[in-house]
Amino acid sequence: MRLCHACLSKPAEIFLDYSQRRLCIDCFLKYYEKKVKQTIDKYRMIKVGEKIGVAVSGGKDSTALIYVLKKLYPSLNLVGIHLNLGIKEYSNHCNEILREFIKKLNIPLIEFNLLKQLGFSIHDFEGTEHGKKICSICGTIKRYLLNKIAYEERINKLATGHNLDDIVEVIFNCYLQGDVTQLSRISPITPANHPKLVARIKPLCMMTEMENLLYASYLELPFRSLSCPLSKGNRSLKQKRLINEKIVQEIPTFKHMLFKSYLKRIAPYFKTYPNVEIFECKYCGMPTSKDVCAFCRLTQRVKKLIVE
Ligand code: SF4
Ligand code: ZN
């Protein structure tokens, strides 16, 4: 029987391949919480008295996030924000699990239902020219609505459950595509550069997807068991699989190295990267780099199709 490398007394249950450490469940939970706290402190993500919105989807990452934030900062002014995207079976499943869980944590939950409040769902984009890039459309809609809700609710910072696997996949893709603009935006904390933009923080950016899954599972936190039916062909899932099944097998430190070297050696060059000029959308008044924001461009087209 192998013993935990931290307490040297209990049997090891978890092997962290990137650091070659074996931990028992209790030491893993302590390690997880300590690392999240260190990340929050290092990047000064949260200040005393701030109101923090947490985007909760019902998945393991955001579930682990809101739980660990409440545990680390019991008196923090936390608010959950959940978008019901109207995806058949999946969205209601996420919604139900989440409602009960957030209530138990004694955290207020803001729910936004796309179908009820805007008259369309993510399915309505399936028959359009965007049908093949449904996750990218969904991402644009989620980003816009989360920011709008956070802005209207006077939330100081919006926390999302992005994990190390998510970030590494985006860096990997930016390198592949030579997408310097997108690369320049990758950061544990995104400041608000317009009065209607809410700063974003990623407290789980140093935790792998597997670590979030283990944390949520060992604590028996409820998270969705269904996967999104629209995720088929999703680029990010394919690239994450490639990274985990091929590269990490050969280089266990790959994900940590890629993000750390990016933060240390590449991100500093972006301090002088030209910021795009920000205007206000002529329809909704929210910030955009064009005269009409991406959300209004997408949704106006879909609303027209529904009426037709
Ligand atoms: Fe949206 Fe794609 Fe995620 Fe489904 S898998 S919720 S369509 S981003
Ligand atoms: Zn707009």
Q: What is the pLDDT of residues 206-227, one digit of tens each?
A: 999 999 999 999 999 999 989 9
How many domains does the structure of the chain reveal?
1
Alpha carbon nearest to ligand 1 atom 5, residue: 231
Query: Does the structure show a pLDDT above 70 at 251?
Result: yes
List of residues 6+ apart from 195 with CB closer than 8 A:
none
* Rounded average pLDDT over 148-177: 98
Model pTM above 0.85: yes
In a domain, 292, yes or no: no
**pLDDT grade for 253, boundaries at 50, 70 and 90:** very high
The closest-lying atom of ligand 1 relative to the alpha carbon of residue 229 is: 4
| 257-277 mean pLDDT | 94
With a cut of 80, say whether residue 30 has pLDDT above it.
yes
Of 101, 90, 238, the closest CA to residue 172 belongs to 238
Q: Is 230 in contact with 134 (CB distance < 8 Å)? A: yes
Checking if the pLDDT of 232 tops 90, the result is no
CA of 71 to the centre of ligand 2 (A): 37
Atom of ligand 1 nearest to the CA of 136: 8
Per DSSP, the residues of 31-42 read HHHHHHHHHHHH
- Ligand 1 contacts CB of residue 135 (under 6 A): yes
Within-domain flag for 220: yes
Q: Name the average pLDDT for the chain.
A: 96
Q: Using the mean position of ligand 1's atoms as its centre, give its distance from the Cα of residue 105 in Å.
A: 26
Inside any domain, residue 294: no
Ligand nearest to the CA of 291: 2
* CATH number of the domain bearing residue 263: 3.40.50.620
Q: Specify the amino acid at residue 270.
A: F
**pLDDT score of 233 more than 90:** no
Ligand 1 test: best mutation among 132, 162, 231, most atoms within 8 Å of CB? 231
Within-domain flag for 7: no
Residue 3 lies in a domain: no
pLDDT (0 to 100) of residue 304: 74
Distance from Cα 158 to the centre of ligand 2, integer Å:
20
Report if residue 22 sits inside a domain. no
Which of 60, 109, 106 lies closest to 84, judged by CA? 109
Q: Is residue 99 part of a domain?
A: yes
Cβ partners under 8 Å of residue 207, min gap 6 = 32, 35, 36, 64, 163, 164, 215
Q: Cα of 300 to ligand 2 centre, how many Å?
A: 10
What's the CA gap between 204 and 39, in Å, rounded? 8
Domain of 206, in residue numbers: 33-277
Joined together, the tokens standing for residue 34 give 């300590």
Instruction: Quote the pLDDT of residue 306.
Output: 64
In this structure, of 12-16, 151-155, 269-273, the range with the lowest mean pLDDT score is: 269-273
The answer to whether residue 57 sits within a structural domain is yes
DSSP secondary structure of 44-98? T---TT-EEEEE--SSHHHHHHHHHHHHH-TTSEEEEEEEE---TTHHHHHHHHH
- 1 has a pLDDT exceeding 90: no
- Helix 25-42 vs helix 60-72: crossing angle, to nearest 10: 80
H or E stretch at 239: helix 235-242
